[in-house]
Amino acid sequence: MAMAEKNGKGRAAPALPRWANTTLSTLGSVAVTMLGLLFVTFIIGRVMPIDPVLAVVGERASQETYDAAFEAMGLDKPLLVQFGYYLWDVLHGDFGNSLLTAHPVSEDIKRVFPATFELATLGTIFGIFFGVPLGVMAAVRRGSWIDQVARVVALVGYSMPIFWLGLMGLLVFYGILGWVGGPGRVSIFYEDMVPVVTGMILIDSALDGNWTVFKDAFSHLILPASLLGYYSLAYISRMTRSFMLEQLSAEYIITARVKGMSERAVIWRHCFRNIRVQLITVIALSYANLLEGSVLTEIIFSWPGIGSYITTALLSADMNAVLGGTVVVGLIFILLNIFCDLLYKVLDPRAR
C-alpha cells in the first residue's frame, strides 16, 4: 500500500525544461511590467490638469452636453473600473480615437512611428560607427591627443542643447551652404510619389526604384540623424572608453602582452570581446532614448514622428493619443531589454 502511494500519488511532477522556465519567467516579467506601465500611464492621464470632456465638446458647450459626454466617456465610473475598460480595449489593440485626426490612435501610430524609427536607427548607426572606435582609441592611447579629443566630444555632446544645435545646423548647412535638405522628410514636390510599404521613406523609395526621391529624402534625413547620432556618439564613446580602461588594467591583459601577443590581438580579441555584453546594454539604452527622446529634433526639423505626435496631442488635450504613444514607447523599452537578454546568452556562455 505504501509502495503504491509512493509510485502513484507520491510521484513528483516532471520538472519543466530550463528553456520553458526561462520563457515563462520572461513572459511573466513582461506582463507585469506592461500592466504597471498601463496603470501608471492611465493614472497620469486622469490626474493631469486637462479636462478631456472640454476637449471633445468645447468650452462653450452647455452643462447638459458636458454631462452627457462625461457619462458617455465613462468618467462617472470609479477609477479602477475605468482602468479595467481601458485595459480591455488596449489588449484588443484599441487606444481610442484621436481628437485631432479623428482616426484611431493605433492607425496614427502606425503612420508616424516609421519616421521616428528611421531617424533613430540612422542616428544610432552613426553613434556606433564613430563612437565605438573613438572610445577604444581613447582608452588605448590614454592621455594622448586622441583621448583629449574624445573627452571634449563627449563633453560637448552632453552639454550642448540639441535645439540650439538643430537651429545652427539648419542655418549653416541648409540656409548658408545648401548641403542638406530643409525641414520635413522630403521636398514638397516629391511627397506621395512613392507607394507606402514600410513607412520609411528611404526603404520605400529604394523598393520603388525612385532614386531621385531617395536622394532627396536622404538629404533631409542626414542632418537630424547626425545630430541625434552625435548625442549617441558622446554616450557610447564615453562608456566604451570606461569599459576598455577597466579591461586594459586587468591581469590577463598583462599576461597576454608578456607572452608576446600582438597589441591588435590584445585590444580586439581580448579586451573588446570582454566588453561586448556591457556595450550592448549601452547601445540598446541609447537607441531607446533616441526613439522616445527625439521630440525636440522632430519639432525643429518638422519631422512627422511619434515624438512630435505625442507633443502635439498633449498640447491639444488629446489624451487618447498621448496614452497610446506613451504605451508604445514603453513597449519598445521592454522589447529592447528582452533583445539584450537574448544577445547576452549568445555572446556570453556564462549567461546561458
Reported as a single tens digit per residue, the pLDDT across 58-82 is 777 777 887 787 777 777 788 888 8
pLDDT (0 to 100) of residue 324: 86
pLDDT (0 to 100) of residue 350: 61
- Render pLDDT for 324-338 as a digit per residue (tens, 0 to 9): 888 888 888 888 878
Q: Which of 281, 240, 352, 292 is nearest to 113 (CA)?
A: 292
On the 0-12 / 13-18 / 19+ scale of CB atoms within 10 A, 22 is middle
| pLDDT of 304 over the 80 cut | yes
Mean pLDDT, rounded, for 339-348: 74
pLDDT (0 to 100) of residue 129: 92
| pLDDT of 283 over the 50 cut | yes
What domains lie within the chain, and their CATH numbers? 30-92 (no CATH), 105-351 (1.10.3720.10)
CB atoms within 10 A of CB 164: 11
SS3 40: helix
Q: pTM for this structure? A: 0.80
On the 0-12 / 13-18 / 19+ scale of CB atoms within 10 A, 259 is exposed
pLDDT (0 to 100) of residue 14: 56
Mean pLDDT, rounded, for 263-270: 82
List C-alpha distances in Å: 126 to 52, 119, 179: 41, 11, 18
| pLDDT of 315 over the 60 cut | yes
| pLDDT of 227 over the 60 cut | yes
